[in-house]
Amino acid sequence: SNKKIKISNFEQDKYINYQRIQDNLAIVKNRLNKPLTLAEKVVYSHLDDPHGQDIERGKSYLKLRPDRVALQDATAQMALLQFMSAGMPEVAVPTTVHCDHLIEAQIGGEKDLARAKDINKEVYDFLATASAKYNIGFWRPGSGIIHQIVLENYAFPGGLMIGTDSHTPNAGGLGMVAIGVGGADAVDVMADIPWELKCPQVIGVKLTGTLSGWTAPKAGILTVKGGTGAIIEYFGPGVESLSCTGMATICNMGAEIGATTSLFPFNKRMSEYLHATNRTDIASYSEYFAHNLRADEGAHYDKVFEINLSELEPHINGPFTPDLATPLSKFKDEVVRNEWPTELKVGLIGSCTNSSYEDMSRAASIAKQAIDHGLKAKSIFTVTPGSEQIRATIARDGQEKILKEAGGLVLANACGPCIGQWDRQDVKKGEKNSIITSYNRNFTGRNDANPATHAFVASPDIVTAFIFSGDLRFNPVTDTLKDGNGNPFKFTDPKGSELPIRGYDPGENTYQGPPKDRLNVQVVVDPKSKRLQLLQPFSKWNGKDAEGLPILIKVKGKCTTDHISMAGPWLKFRGHLDNISNNMLIGAVNAENGAVNSVKNINNGQYDAVPNVARDYKAKGIPWVVVGDENYGEGSSREHAALEVRHLGGIAVIVKSFARIHETNLKKQGLLPLTFTNPSDYDKIDPLDKISILGLTSFAPGKNLTLRLNKTSGETVDIPVSHTFNNNQIEWFKAGSALNCMAEQHAH
Task: Tell me the CA distances in angstroms from 532 to 75, 118, 126, 528, 697, one per residue in order.
Answer: 12, 16, 8, 9, 37
Nearer to ligand F3S, 106 or 581 (CB): 106
Nearer to ligand F3S, 146 or 309 (CB): 146
Q: Does 179 bind ligand F3S (CB under 6 A)?
A: no
Q: Which of 67, 112, 165, 681 is catalytic?
A: 165
Region 64-123 residues binding ligand F3S, contact defined as CB under 6 A: 100
23 catalytic, yes or no? no
Instruction: Put residue 690 in one of left, alpha, beta given phi > 0 → left and psi -120 to 50 → alpha.
Output: beta
Q: Which residues contact 574 (CB under 8 A, 6 or more apart)?
A: 74, 75, 77, 78, 580, 640
Contact predicate 79/91, CB 8 Å: no
Q: Which of 67, 100, 185, 562 is catalytic?
A: 100
Contact map string, positions 254 to 283, toward ligand F3S, x by CB under 6 A: ------------------------------
Region 393-422 residues binding ligand F3S, contact defined as CB under 6 A: 415, 418-419
Q: Which of 45, 356, 361, 636 is catalytic?
A: 636
Alpha helices in 254-343 (DSSP H): 268-276, 280-288, 328-338
Bond before 319 cis per omega within 30 degrees: yes
Q: What is the largest CA-CA distance in the chain?
A: 92
502 catalytic, yes or no? no
Nearer to ligand F3S, 105 or 549 (CB): 105
Contact predicate 388/415, CB 8 Å: no
Q: How many residues lie near ligand F3S (CB under 6 A)?
A: 13
Q: Pick from 165, 185, 233, 562: which binds ligand F3S (CB under 6 A)?
A: 165
| CA–CA dist 272, 283 (Å, integer) | 8
Instruction: Tell me the three state secondary structure of residue 453.
Output: strand
Nearer to ligand F3S, 286 or 440 (CB): 440
Q: Does 739 bind ligand F3S (CB under 6 A)?
A: no
Nearer to ligand F3S, 145 or 244 (CB): 145
101 catalytic, yes or no? yes
Contact map string, positions 115 to 154, toward ligand F3S, x by CB under 6 A: ------------------------------xxx-------
> Minimum CB separation from ligand F3S for residue 639, in Å?
19
Q: What's the alpha-carbon Rg for the chain, to the nearest Å?
A: 27
Length of the chain: 748
Region 438-467 residues binding ligand F3S, contact defined as CB under 6 A: 439-440
Q: Which of 441, 574, 576, 647 is catalytic?
A: 441
| CA–CA dist 691, 696 (Å, integer) | 14
574 catalytic, yes or no? no
Q: Which of 574, 638, 662, 723 is catalytic?
A: 638
> Minimum CB separation from ligand F3S for residue 730, in Å?
37
Taking Cα atoms as reference points, which of 247, 65, 260 lies closest to residue 161? 65
Taking Cα atoms as reference points, which of 436, 382, 389 lies closest to residue 406? 382
| CA–CA dist 596, 590 (Å, integer) | 6
> Minimum CB separation from ligand F3S for residue 379, in Å?
21
441 catalytic, yes or no? yes
Contact predicate 247/173, CB 8 Å: yes
> Minimum CB separation from ligand F3S for residue 9, in Å?
22
Q: Between helices 183-190 and 73-85, what is the axis angle to 10°? A: 50
End-to-end CA gap in the chain: 37
| CA–CA dist 582, 132 (Å, integer) | 31
Q: Which residues contact 111 (CB under 8 A, 6 or more apart)?
A: none
Q: Does 352 bind ligand F3S (CB under 6 A)?
A: yes
Task: Tell me the CA distances in angstroms from 70 to 45, 137, 162, 368, one per residue in order.
Answer: 20, 9, 7, 37
Nearer to ligand F3S, 145 or 559 (CB): 145
Q: Pick from 271, 351, 365, 469: which binds ligand F3S (CB under 6 A)?
A: 351
Q: Which of 101, 140, 362, 723 is catalytic?
A: 101
Instruction: Give strand ranges (E) for 298-421.
Output: 303-308, 315-317, 325-327, 344-350, 380-384, 408-410
> Minimum CB separation from ligand F3S for residue 71, in Å?
12
> Minimum CB separation from ligand F3S for residue 418, in Å?
3
Nearer to ligand F3S, 572 or 711 (CB): 572
> Minimum CB separation from ligand F3S for residue 75, in Å?
11
Name the β-bridge partners of 246: none
> Minimum CB separation from ligand F3S for residue 601, in Å?
41
> Minimum CB separation from ligand F3S for residue 354, in Å?
10
Region 558-577 residues binding ligand F3S, contact defined as CB under 6 A: none
Q: Pick from 167, 391, 576, 668: which binds ligand F3S (CB under 6 A)?
A: 167
CA dihedral in degrees (10, 14, 16, 19; nearest 10)?
A: 160
Nearer to ligand F3S, 148 or 675 (CB): 148
Q: Please count the helices (runs of H) and the strands (runs of E) in the chain.
A: 22, 30
> Minimum CB separation from ligand F3S for residue 735, in Å?
35
| CA–CA dist 731, 111 (Å, integer) | 51
Region 613-642 residues binding ligand F3S, contact defined as CB under 6 A: none
636 catalytic, yes or no? yes
> Minimum CB separation from ligand F3S for residue 146, in Å?
6
Interface contacts to ligand F3S, rule CB under 6 A: 100, 145-147, 165, 167, 351-352, 415, 418-419, 439-440
Would you please indicate which residues are annotated as catalytic (active-site) residues? 100-101, 165, 441, 636, 638
